[in-house]
Amino acid sequence: QPSTARIPPTNWVSVYDNRLDTEDFGGGRQGSAWTDAPDGDSEGPEGREYNCAYYHAYAPFEPDLNYRNDRVMWYMNETVRFWLQRVDGLHLLGTQFLAEDDSFVREIDPCNEQNPCEYPTTRYQQMVHDRTQHQPLTHVILAGWRAIADSFEEEKALTTSISLPFGATNLSEANKYFGNESLPEMHRVDNPLTATIASKDVHFVKAVLDTYLDQKRGAA
């Protein structure tokens, strides 16, 4: 009998990778960042039924928002405004996942039997996430939130923690989250490279910090 399993819209995988099959993460396709919609199908034009799935960078119970939807963007802007009226600042986790490429192009998986990767331990670590992280729309979203923060008379701080590609030693991608003079974004950007360098060789630490400061000056 032919398989009734639906094919995911893309080969994008979840950060949790094969752990999606465990009960702790709510089930779902092994490794896939796509989960079938609860009702299975959706009725489209002329009564035709279409298979539906939703995207989640993490677990199936943490669906990603579609910031290309004006209502979603408005609601999240108002949410940021609501909290900044009550607190001195916000720390945003994983902002590199805010938006995805809406062309749904497959991501590159450089590891296979002919070209095994030694360092990565999961499929997610093997792949090049150029379609699901650090998208241009992400910086539009963050610049909008910074504008909301700057609209208050009292100073409000926006900080973020992001991850960089595995093995990365260049902070240019992280520094984009500061924005620029005309469109500022975050006041502070944390990432694993600068957070974990204390365990590295002292010369490596100095080189990374020098590079970070040089790039930050260039972004300012």
**Helix, strand or coil for residue 41?**
strand
Ramachandran class of 120: left when φ > 0, alpha when ψ lies in -120 to 50, beta otherwise: beta
- Cα 59 to Cα 62: distance, rounded to the nearest angstrom: 5
Residue pLDDT, tens place only, 51-68: 678 999 998 889 999 999
Measured distance CA(135)–CA(88) in Å, rounded: 28
pLDDT at residue 79 tops 80: yes
Lowest mean pLDDT across 52-61, 100-109, 161-170 = 161-170
The pTM of this model reads 0.77
Higher pLDDT among residues 155 and 127, named by residue: 155
Average pLDDT of the chain?
78
- The mean pLDDT value for 164-181 works out to 75
Cα–Cα nearest to 129, from 155, 158, 94: 94
The H-assigned helical ranges of 132-191 are: 136-150, 172-175
Q: For residue 23, is pLDDT > 50?
A: no
pLDDT band at 171 (very low <50, low <70, confident <90, very high): confident
How much of the chain is helix, strand and coil, in % rounded to 5?
Answer: 35, 15, 45
Specify the higher pLDDT residue, 94 or 27: 94
| Whether 93 contacts 159, CB under 8 Å | no
Contact predicate 208/194, CB 8 Å: yes
Residue 58 makes CB contacts below 8 A (sequence gap 6+) with 14, 15, 16
